[in-house]
Chains A and B, each alone.
Chain A
Amino acid sequence: GNSVTQMEGPVTLSEEAFLTINCTYTATGYPSLFWYVQYPGEGLQLLLKATKADDKGSNKGFEATYRKETTSFHLEKGSVQVSDSAVYFCALSGNGQNFVFGPGTRLSVLP
């Protein structure tokens, strides 16, 4: 079945550092790929998405590119802020199938 693997962290960075959170997936066909963010005490919010190969999703300075050849959707941000501290989930949606979420990566950004 479909699956998502992501680095589990925790990841601790200083403000203005570069962020990469790796995400790889296993799926048949061409799934849609998502990154969600969960701030403390809140539900999950969609951060960005990509629905076909080579698509780049972007939002709030975060970016991720759908790489079919490496089955990856790595999340990047050039300069993180303290307010980016949260848990980040990679997810996929296959054709007619349930969503599959990765285990989440906790990011802490220190001032």
Chain B
Amino acid sequence: NAGVTQTPKFQVLKTGQSMTLQCAQDMNHEYMSWYRQDPGMGLRLIHYSVGAGITDQGEVPNGYNVSRSTTEDFPLRLLSAAPSQTSVYFCASSLKTSGFYNEQFFGPGTRLTVL
């Protein structure tokens, strides 16, 4: 199993550009999520999905879109990049057992800089 994979590892954008961060998992996990990690801010949830075709907003969704057409993939789209979106982005997935989400498996992260 590859686990959770993310591409690209690094990206530099100019203000106003759009791009998609890719995330895929091969563990057949129902739950997938996107976080951003900023210095001193811990992890903040952007969007999450509890299964194919179902997505919802997290704590900081503005400026980001997601879709979940398959169980495996959960891309994150930046619509019009802003310097405030400079961050490290992590994708994670989890399996649900008896109503509880088990431990999340994290990807290696995408380090994004917006100039």
Q: Interface readout for A38-63 with B: 1 if CB under 8 Å, 0 if not?
A: 00001111100101000000000000
Q: Taking the complex as formed, is B53 at the interface, i.e. its CB lies under 8 A from any CB of chain A?
A: no
- A98/B45 in contact, CB under 8 A: yes
Q: Which of A42, A89, A96, A98 contacts B42 (CB 8 A)?
A: A89
Assembly CA distance A95 to B97 (angstroms): 10
Query: B20-73: which residues lie under 8 A (CB-CB) from chain A?
Result: 33, 40-43, 45, 48, 58
- Closest Cβ–Cβ distance, residue B97 to chain A (whole Å): 9
Q: Taking the complex as formed, is B107 at the interface, i.e. its CB lies under 8 A from any CB of chain A?
A: yes
- A104/B42 in contact, CB under 8 A: yes
Assembly CA distance A34 to B109 (angstroms): 20
- Closest Cβ–Cβ distance, residue A53 to chain B (whole Å): 14
A44-B90 CB under 8 A given contacts A98-B33, A98-B45, A104-B42:
yes
Provide the residues of chain B in CB contact with A36, threshold 8 Å.
106
* Least CB separation from A4: chain B residue: B42
Assembly CA distance A58 to B64 (angstroms): 37
* Contact residues of A: prevailing secondary structure: strand
Interface size range of chain B in the complex: 20 to 34
- Closest Cβ–Cβ distance, residue B41 to chain A (whole Å): 8
- A43/B100 in contact, CB under 8 A: no
Assembly CA distance A48 to B58 (angstroms): 25
- B90/A43 in contact, CB under 8 A: yes
A43-B48 CB under 8 A given contacts A102-B42, A103-B42:
no
- A45/B106 in contact, CB under 8 A: yes
Interface, chain A (partner B; CB < 8 A): 31-32, 34, 36, 42-46, 49, 51, 89, 93-96, 98-99, 101-104
Q: Please list 12 pairs of residues, one from A and one from B, whose beta carbons are closer than 8 Å in the complex, sorted by A's number.
A: A34-B103, A42-B109, A43-B90, A44-B106, A46-B105, A89-B42, A94-B100, A98-B33, A98-B48, A98-B58, A101-B42, A103-B41
